[in-house]
Amino acid sequence: MRPSFAFFLVLLTCSAFFAGCFFEQRRRYLEEQELRRGYEKILSFYRHEIANHLQLFISLVQLQRYERLLKQLKKSDSFFRDLIILNKLCPPDIFSFLIRWQQELGAEVKVNLQSGGILLSRAGARFLKALLVALLEHHQEAQVEGLPLLTFTEKNSSLVFDLYCSSSRFSYLLPTIESLIKEHGDSSLQVELFPLQGEKAHLQFTSTLAAAEDLHKKTFFGCRI
């Protein structure tokens, strides 16, 4: 008995379905590889080692060439996976990530993690990602002098963020920071504004580090793998 037309139709439908799944997986794989190659290309152009420190310089002009990577960074949690990729190329005990903007804008962001394996709450991780993206997005509007310096240190089971900049620059950044805290913060995120000292401003916000039993609920930031 010859196979019926319905059998061939079902077979064709199944073949089309599995082919679609295969090509979708292939597309995602190629996108991830392209993203990784982009970061490795940036690293190959802009990294240099001094003793045990690694610094990454990315000019605004170069960042514009990687606009699509920045868009993916904004919409995907893969940002932290990409940081881990960067971290694998760093010395094992120090992870340093430096983004440098055009000098005429007077804007510079420096991020330091003095640990090879910091565990950060998801709220803190979301806030950090959003803050970095916001600082990148607002560079064209920041026609003021002053270099924001963003640093991170471990203290009493917490990760302490310190933002230093000129008072004029701080007045510009503060509304953005406040909105990000409201959007991404939780009870683990505490904010303290230090009094201005001359022309310098200092904002400190603390995020509780994850406990070992909460590993499945938390986000690794800059961890060694």
Split into its structural domains, the chain has a count of: 1
pLDDT of residue 164: 61
Q: How buried is 28 (Cβ within 10 angstroms: 0-12 exposed, 13-18 middle, 19+ buried)?
A: exposed
pLDDT of residue 179: 74
- DSSP character for 209? B
Average pLDDT per block of 10 residues along the chain, 225 residues long: 60 71 78 68 45 33 45 49 39 32 33 40 60 55 46 56 62 70 60 54 56 36 27
Cα–Cα distance list, 117 to 84, 112, 217, 224 (Å): 10, 13, 16, 6
What is the span of the domain harbouring residue 192? 5-221
pLDDT of residue 133: 59
Task: For residues 13 and 126, give the distance between their C-alpha atoms in angstroms, rounded to a whole number.
Answer: 42
pLDDT of residue 24: 78
pLDDT of residue 127: 65
Look up tokens 């990530």; give the residue: 97
Cα–Cα distance list, 165 to 135, 178, 193 (Å): 13, 16, 13
Look up residue 6 and give its two tokens. 């319905």
Task: For residues 177 and 40, give the distance between their C-alpha atoms in angstroms, rounded to a whole number.
Answer: 30
Task: For residues 100 and 130, give the distance between their C-alpha atoms in angstroms, rounded to a whole number.
Answer: 17
- DSSP character for 3? P
